Structure 1
Amino acid sequence: MKIAIPVTGEQLVAGHAGQARNWLVYDCIPGSPLPAPNAIMLAREQVLHHFEDDGPHPLDGVEVVIAASAGDGLVRHMAKRGAEVLLTGEQQPDAALARILAGEALPDPRFDITTTLCKLRDLFSRH
């Protein structure tokens, strides 16, 4: 199972996943230790908020996205690509991943005003 987590420059779980350029992608095998992530930096045109869905994408094959915040448009966009988006208040990518793999609930996301603004913009989104 491939799990992707957008990260900040400090390697913390990032909010506003649709605008994120830096991602950690984990190729998880049930019952195995946490794998080392594959770091991906998206080109500007590959950022999910702007991506036109007109070809392959570096996050293709991801089944789960874990982020601090994401708008409804990104959630719908990722669902079309076969991925579920989970939001969390956990800041450490490895801790969030460990919780998911252990079947535990993630901590609730922190309040983020940009999410509210994204929800308004997503009312008119093409996704």
Structure 2
Amino acid sequence: MRVAVASDDFLNVTGHAGKAVRFLVYEAEANVPPREVGRLDLAADLTIHEFRCDGPHPLFGMRAVIAGSAGAGFVRRLAEHGVETAITAERDPATAVSHWAAGTLAPPGPHDHEGGCGCNCG
């Protein structure tokens, strides 16, 4: 199954998923190391914060999206397309995907979406 990880630098899990433009894409399954299969570098108008759901979106083809933080709007919009949102304190993308597939992903820290934009976008 395909899992996208928000990553501003393509090295670390990053937060504010609704405004993220870069995602690592992994093929994931339980008990198998995740394999990076692609990268998304979205235009600004394709962030979930800006996207108006008026057509297909690359994240809608994922089974899950992992990020350091996400607001309720992000979670809701992806869920409408059958995509799970997983929030974590884990910073290594491959480790986060591996733990997600095993059902052992570390929960988020106390910083999640504090001081955010207030838009409920995620």
Do Structure 1 and Structure 2 share a fold, with TM-score over 0.5? yes
Describe how 1:13-52 pairs up with structure 2 within 5 A.
Answer: 13-30=13-30, 32-52=32-52
Aligned counterparts of 1:31 and 1:47: Cα–Cα separation in 2: 32
Matched position secondary structure for 2:35: coil
- The alpha-carbon distance between structure 1 residues 78 and 40, as it changes in their structure 2 partners (threshold 3 A), is same
Where relative contact order (Cα < 8 A, 6+ residues apart) is larger, the structure is 2
Task: Specify which of 115, 118, 121 is matched with residue 119 of structure 2.
Answer: 121
Displacement over 3 Å in runs of 4+: 29-33, 116-120
Aligned identity (percent) is 36
Query: Could you give the per-residue CA deviations for residues 48-98 of structure 1, whole angstroms, max 9, x where no partner exists?
Result: 110011111122211111110000110101111111111100000001111
RMSD (Å) for aligned C-alpha atoms? 2.2
Q: CA deviation at 1:31?
A: 5.1
Q: TM-score scaled to structure 2, two decimals?
A: 0.87
Higher normalized strand content (fraction of residues) = 2
Aligned counterparts of 2:97 and 2:118: Cα–Cα separation in 1: 29
Alignment length, in residue pairs?
122
Gaps of 5+ in 1: none
Q: TM-score scaled to structure 1, two decimals?
A: 0.83
Gaps of 5+ in 2: none
Aligned counterparts of 1:30 and 1:10: Cα–Cα separation in 2: 23
